[in-house]
Amino acid sequence: MTSDDRRVLIAGGGPVGLLCAWLLGRRGVPVRLFDLNSGPQADPRAATTHPATLDLLDIDGFADDMTRVGLKAPIFQFWDRSSGELVAEFDHAVLQNDTRHPFVIQCEQFKTSNLLLERLRKIGNVDVLFDHEVTGAAQTPDRVSIDVRGPGGVTSHSGGYLISAEGGRSTVRKQSGIAFEGFTWPERFIVLTTPFDFEAHRGYCYRSYFADPGEWCNCFKVSADGPPGLWRTVYPADPALTEGEILSDTGVQARIQSFFPSDSAYEIVHRNLYVTHQRVAETFRKGRVLLAGDSAHVNNPIGGMGLNGGIQDAVNLSDKLARVILDSESDRLLDLYDRQRRTVAVEFVQEQSIANKNRLEARDPETRKRNLGELRQMAAEPERARQFLLRTAMIASQRRADSLELAES
């Protein structure tokens, strides 16, 4: 193989693309990554990093670095907004024999990206090109090629494999003719970030979920530039309102006050609105094109599973791709990547994230009573709490993926 044949091209330098670049690069695979932005974006998206993901990132001190720049959150809570009752509290300590990290780390995704960039700067065989947009992709049985628009015009690049990590709107996925099956929620999700200290003033822990008929809220803390850090609150937005109405000062105060009434106005430091989908690509592999992260699957953020799934894709894929390129193992390993990661995207992440939303927003009084009663009981019984946390901490899905083998051909 020439070095061109061994090169992996990566479209997209979000956390998933950068992680693939680092994991492949540190094994000696030549990598060239392109991202259309000028660097990591600081918008408030992923922060929650689950135990299964931290276990996978326990490489060269990476999980420790995330802990250093993030916040440790061993506990999460469910609250009933209408009664103000703390329904259930779960402590990851019950997972002490299941993971080396019996806690969540709240680490904003741009910090994860910056930690990866620091490491990538030390690896000579990886080129990271920001301000470069991948506009076209094609493959033959032997190679892949892409067109890239950068400051100097359009250039072509070729390599042995192409990882599509450019997020939910992936150009490469579309140009490869891979369907993105699923649906879009009618309501957009609004994120309001405030310095108001929900722990000191209201007793909420760093990850708190609120159930309310037809509504819900996730309230969680990030370290930001802190201490003291910031609190992010996420809600459904009224589909009848325009974006301008939702994001106006009146709109955001009404939204936050509806869950957390207060005599004074909240200081809102960021307000963001997201369209949210539940979709999984029909395949994560088409020949030499491999999908990872949001390019392969998207879901609502309740439970914080999207990027965790993407990181788990990146670790799985990079190991297999390195073995194919460096050790001449069969490229059927890449079919196994598709089987393992697509299966758990459908069986766990889609299922669990939709169930999380349904549980919080249930309107029917009997269903609400049953849902909240079940959470209460699970929290009270250590083994049931452990089984629940194995799923929320994404350990069960990781175990399921590891158990899958290729069907005999």
Ligand X SMILES: Cc1cc2nc3c(=O)[nH]c(=O)nc-3n(C[C@H](O)[C@H](O)[C@H](O)COP(=O)(O)OP(=O)(O)OC[C@H]3O[C@@H](n4cnc5c(N)ncnc54)[C@H](O)[C@@H]3O)c2cc1C
Q: E-assigned strands of 175-243? A: 180-184, 189-194, 207-212, 215-222, 230-236
The minimum distance between CB 9 and ligand X, in angstroms, equals 11
CA 238 to chain centre: 24
Outline where 10-154 has alpha helix (H): 15-26, 51-56, 62-69, 109-120
Closest C-alpha among 87, 316, 97, 74 to residue 210: 87
The minimum distance between CB 387 and ligand X, in angstroms, equals 21
Binding site for ligand X (CB under 6 A): 11-17, 34-37, 45-48, 109, 133-134, 165-167, 171, 189, 191, 234, 274, 293-294, 301, 304-308, 310
Closest C-alpha among 234, 230, 186, 187 to residue 209: 234
> Considering beta carbons, is residue 281 or 322 the nearer one to ligand X?
281
The minimum distance between CB 306 and ligand X, in angstroms, equals 3
* Exposed e or buried b per residue across 290-328, where buried means at least 16 C-beta atoms within 10 angstroms of its C-beta: bbbbbbbbbbbbbbbbbbbbbbbbbbbbbebbbbbbeee
The minimum distance between CB 295 and ligand X, in angstroms, equals 6
> Considering beta carbons, is residue 289 or 305 the nearer one to ligand X?
305
The minimum distance between CB 281 and ligand X, in angstroms, equals 12
**CA distance to 90, 168, 379, per residue, from 387 (Å):** 11, 31, 11
44 burial (CB, 10 Å; 0-12 / 13-18 / 19+) is buried
The minimum distance between CB 3 and ligand X, in angstroms, equals 23
Compute the distance between CA of residue 72 and CA of residue 25 in angstroms, rounded to an integer.
29
> Considering beta carbons, is residue 3 or 37 the nearer one to ligand X?
37
233: β partners: 192, 219
> Do 132 and 170 form a contact (C-beta atoms < 8 A)?
no
> Considering beta carbons, is residue 43 or 85 the nearer one to ligand X?
43
The minimum distance between CB 364 and ligand X, in angstroms, equals 27
The minimum distance between CB 225 and ligand X, in angstroms, equals 19
* Tokens, residue 175: 């140009």
> Considering beta carbons, is residue 42 or 326 the nearer one to ligand X?
42
By three-state DSSP, how is residue 333 classified?
Answer: helix
> Considering beta carbons, is residue 113 or 371 the nearer one to ligand X?
113
